[in-house]
Structure 1
Amino acid sequence: METALTRLVGVRHPLVQTGMGWVAGPRLVSATARAGALGILASATMTVDQLRDAVKEVRSRTTAPFGVNLRADAADAGDRVRVLVEEGVRVASFALAPSRELITELKEAGVVVLPSVGARRHAEKVVAWGADAVLVQGGEGGGHTGEVATTVLLPQVVDAVDVPVVAAGGFCDGRGLVAALAYGAAGVAMGTRFLLTSDSTVPDAVKARYLAATVRDVTVTRAVDGLPHRMLRSDLVDALERAGRVRALGQAVRRAAELRRLTGLTWRGMLRDGRALRHGKDLSWSQVLLAANTPTLLRAAMVDGRTDLGVMAAGQVTGLIDDLPSCAELVERVMAEAEEVLGRLTLMADGPRAADDPATSA
């Protein structure tokens, strides 16, 4: 299936595996790329050297195009961009809007720039700065999310920009892909669906928690970092929501120390990131620290399997997923379902005309 997205990035299918921290590593990304979709490597939890090694590992596993997700506000964003350029990465995606300068640097090197947005005005801004495409996540999506549903946000953005739009939030099958195409999108991005594959390195016990979850087990909370965060309901989430400021601050400091050990961040760098996050938002300093070290909460679950000590970002679509296919099986199934749905719609559209056509009825 060829769309503006497949032509832009050079993949066979209009499907994107999102850059999930601690989840979207070389194994998942390369499996996605080999299946013909666009895999996105998550780099926010890596040092610059680890990022380069991860890119090389993906390269050793596949020659297919793939991307890297970057934090536009990271102090070393320029160094990370240089890794992408030097290693020939096809796509740079961003969770926060990249600066005009970063976009220009990437585009001049031939890297496709694909920022994620949660509002029409953000899409208009990054496209005006030169973004090649935008990924639009509605409120159904996992992780940090907004309040506007994909079915409302997507057509707004499609009508507002003249670049390919990738739809995210609430997608897991071929029906969803066809629906997004009908809205004018050039493809769909899926996070939870790719997390729940046999190629994902998430521990089996954690995957089992996802598979057992219903739609009602997925919640949006501000208790983790002061921002709306969609995740699985758990005892830890309940405890964070009940915790007072003193207790929350103590937890934040302990996790900040752990994040510093894992990533090599300095306290000064963490405080700088915290001040940037706090600017313009009504967050306490304990929430700022929690936001700065939310990666450790994700790591506890997604890497260590400690669902009692970590959080599990999850889209609402979790409640619709009940199996663990390989990436190849998943992509093949989604595309087959999409073709089947398109075929039914074509028959519905052609049916009355075919019945009235004398040559057909003869």
Structure 2
Amino acid sequence: METALTRLVGVEHPLVQTGMGWVAGPRLVSAAANAGALGILASATMTLDGLRSAVREVKSRTDAPFGVNLRADAGDAGERVELIVAEGVRVASFALAPSRELIARLKEAGVVVIPSVGARRHAEKVAAWGADAVIVQGGEGGGHTGEVATGVLLPQVVDAVRIPVIAAGGFHDGRGLVAALSYGAAGVAMGTRFLLTSDSTVPDPVKDRYLAATVKDVTVTTAVDGLPHRMLRSELVDALERSGRIGSLLRALRHALAFRRESGLGARQMVREGLAMRHGKDLTWGQVLLAANTPMLLKAAMVEGRTDLGVMASGQVAGVIEDLPSCAELVGRVMAEAERTLTALEALRASGTLPSAG
């Protein structure tokens, strides 16, 4: 199935495995890439040397194109851009809008730039700055998310920009891919669905929690870092929502120090990143400190398997996912179902049951 996305990045299928922190490592990314999707490596929780090692490991596992997700507000964002340029990475994705300068440098080196956005105005901004495509995530998506559902947000963005739009938030099968294509998207990005594969390194007990969840077990809370964050409801989330402001700030300070050790960031660099975050999202210093909760609480669950001490970011689709296929099996299944759905729609149109456009 050829779309503007497959032509742009050189993958076989219009599917993207998103850059999930602590989840989208070399094994998952290379498996997604070998299956014909665009795998994206999550780098925000890696040191610069760790990112270089991870990129080279992906390259040793696959010859297919893949991408790296970068934090545009990171103090060493420029160095990370130079690293992926030097390593010949095909795609740079961003969780926040990158600057004009970062986009220009990447495009100059032939790297495809695909920021993720949650609002029409953000898509318009990065398109005007030269982004090659955009991932637009509706409120059903996991992690930090907005309030507008994908079915409302996606057509807004498709109508507003002239670059390929990749739909995210609520996708897990071939029917969803066809629905996104009907809105004018060039493909879909999936996080939770790729997390719940046999190629994902997330510990099995954590995967079991996802598989047992219903759609009502996926909630949005601001208790973790002060921003709307979609995740599985758990005892820890309940406790965080009950805790007072002082307790939350003290816990966040401990996590900030732990993340400093994990990421290799110096105190001065963390302050610079805090300033950038505060300006970019109009946060109070308390909220900036709370943001330190996220990486370490995610690591506790996604790496260490401690569902009692960590949080589990999740899209609402966790409530309808029931198995753990390999990436190859998942991609094959999604594309086969998409083809069957398109064939069924064409049969309806041919029979006169479904009127043709115009």
TM-score, with structure 2 as normaliser: 0.96
Larger Rg: 1
Aligned to 2:350: 350
Offset at 1:260?
A: 1.3
Q: Is the CA contact (8 Å cut-off) linking 2:75 and 2:272 kept in structure 1?
A: no
Q: Is the CA contact (8 Å cut-off) linking 1:177 and 1:188 kept in structure 2?
A: yes
Could you list the runs of 5+ residues in structure 2 that have no partner in the other structure?
354-358
Question: Distance in 2 between the 1:284 and 1:129 partners?
Answer: 28
Residues 255-296 of structure 1 show CA distances to partners (whole Å, capped at 9, x for unaligned) of 112111111112222233223323376755443212034111
Could you list the runs of 5+ residues in structure 1 that have no partner in the other structure?
354-362
Matched, 1:276 2:276: yes
Q: Is the CA contact (8 Å cut-off) linking 1:118 and 1:137 kept in structure 2?
A: yes
Identify if the C-alpha distance between structure 1 residues 221 and 49 changes in structure 2 by more than 3 Å, giving closer, same or farther.
Answer: same
The 3-state SS of whatever aligns with 1:147 is: coil
Identify if the C-alpha distance between structure 1 residues 281 and 97 changes in structure 2 by more than 3 Å, giving closer, same or farther.
Answer: closer
- The residue correspondences of 1:54-73 to structure 2 (distance < 5 A) are 54-73=54-73
Offset at 1:182?
A: 0.2
Matched, 1:236 2:236: yes
Q: Is the CA contact (8 Å cut-off) linking 1:270 and 1:292 kept in structure 2?
A: no
Q: Which moved more, 1:117-126 or 1:289-298?
A: 289-298
Q: Is the CA contact (8 Å cut-off) linking 1:127 and 1:163 kept in structure 2?
A: yes
Question: Distance in 2 between the 1:27 and 1:34 partners?
Answer: 11
Question: Distance in 1 between the 2:217 and 2:163 partners?
Answer: 36
The 3-state SS of whatever aligns with 1:206 is: helix
Aligned to 2:356: none
Q: Is the CA contact (8 Å cut-off) linking 2:124 and 2:161 kept in structure 1?
A: yes
- The residue correspondences of 1:169-248 to structure 2 (distance < 5 A) are 169-248=169-248
Identify if the C-alpha distance between structure 1 residues 56 and 275 changes in structure 2 by more than 3 Å, giving closer, same or farther.
Answer: same
Question: Distance in 2 between the 1:61 and 1:281 partners?
Answer: 37
Offset at 1:87?
A: 0.6
Q: Is the CA contact (8 Å cut-off) linking 1:248 and 1:286 kept in structure 2?
A: no
Identify if the C-alpha distance between structure 1 residues 106 and 282 changes in structure 2 by more than 3 Å, giving closer, same or farther.
Answer: closer
Question: Distance in 1 between the 2:39 and 2:281 partners?
Answer: 32
Question: Distance in 2 between the 1:168 and 1:312 partners?
Answer: 18
Residues 70-125 of structure 1 show CA distances to partners (whole Å, capped at 9, x for unaligned) of 00010100110011111110000000000000000000100000000111110010
Aligned to 1:249: 249
The 3-state SS of whatever aligns with 1:189 is: strand
Amino acid at match of 1:98: P
Question: Distance in 2 between the 1:246 and 1:117 partners?
Answer: 32
The 3-state SS of whatever aligns with 2:39 is: strand
The 3-state SS of whatever aligns with 2:304 is: coil
Question: Distance in 2 between the 1:144 and 1:128 partners?
Answer: 24
TM-score, with structure 1 as normaliser: 0.95
Q: Is the CA contact (8 Å cut-off) linking 2:252 and 2:290 kept in structure 1?
A: yes
Amino acid at match of 1:20: M
Matched, 1:165 2:165: yes
Aligned to 1:10: 10
Identify if the C-alpha distance between structure 1 residues 147 and 65 changes in structure 2 by more than 3 Å, giving closer, same or farther.
Answer: same
Q: Is the CA contact (8 Å cut-off) linking 2:174 and 2:337 kept in structure 1?
A: yes
Matched, 1:75 2:82: no
Q: Which moved more, 1:37-46 or 1:266-275?
A: 266-275
Question: Distance in 1 between the 2:166 and 2:264 partners?
Answer: 34
Offset at 1:253?
A: 1.3
Identify if the C-alpha distance between structure 1 residues 23 and 68 changes in structure 2 by more than 3 Å, giving closer, same or farther.
Answer: same
Residues 183-228 of structure 1 show CA distances to partners (whole Å, capped at 9, x for unaligned) of 0000000000000000000000000000000000000001111110
Residues 319-346 of structure 1 show CA distances to partners (whole Å, capped at 9, x for unaligned) of 0100000000000000000000000000
Question: Distance in 1 between the 2:64 and 2:18 partners?
Answer: 16
The number of residue pairs the alignment matches comes to: 353
The CA RMSD over aligned residues, in Å, is: 1.2
Question: Distance in 1 between the 2:143 and 2:286 partners?
Answer: 19
Question: Distance in 1 between the 2:127 and 2:280 partners?
Answer: 24
Amino acid at match of 2:56: K
